[in-house]
């Protein structure tokens, strides 16, 4: 059961050539989202060295045609369920 301040977003990951669905709280800032999804992707892929430095990762939005500011929150970007972001 999703809380109503959560969204399901699609994370495209070129490093693994896969797409993943994540339930994300809209209150989370982008930096924490990057940490969460990169951690879980590395666990899922059983590859802890997939991303050498999490601090260098960005979430890129096709809609905004830019990387998301890591200090802002998911809701600042009005990200809704079904949105697709790329982890690069």
The pLDDT tens digits of the residues spanning 14-41 come to 999 999 999 999 999 999 999 999 999 9
Query: Does residue 2 carry a pLDDT above 70?
Result: no
pLDDT of residue 20: 98
Is the Cα dihedral 25, 88, 17, 53 positive or negative? negative
Q: Rounded CA gap, 35 and 76, in Å?
A: 18
Please state the separation of Cα 65 from the chain's center in Å: 15
The answer to whether residues 42 and 34 touch, using CB atoms and an 8 Å cutoff, is no
Q: Rounded CA gap, 33 and 22, in Å?
A: 10
């Amino acid at each position: 059961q999703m809380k109503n301040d959560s969204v399901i977003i699609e994370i495209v990951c070129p490093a693994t050539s896969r797409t993943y669905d994540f339930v994300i709280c809209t209150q989370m800032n982008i930096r924490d989202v990057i940490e969460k999804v990169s951690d879980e992707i590395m666990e899922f892929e059983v590859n802890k060295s997939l991303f050498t430095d999490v601090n260098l990762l960005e979430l890129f939005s096709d809609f905004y045609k830019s990387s998301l500011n890591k200090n802002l929150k998911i809701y600042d970007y009005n990200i809704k369920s079904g949105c697709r972001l790329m982890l690069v």
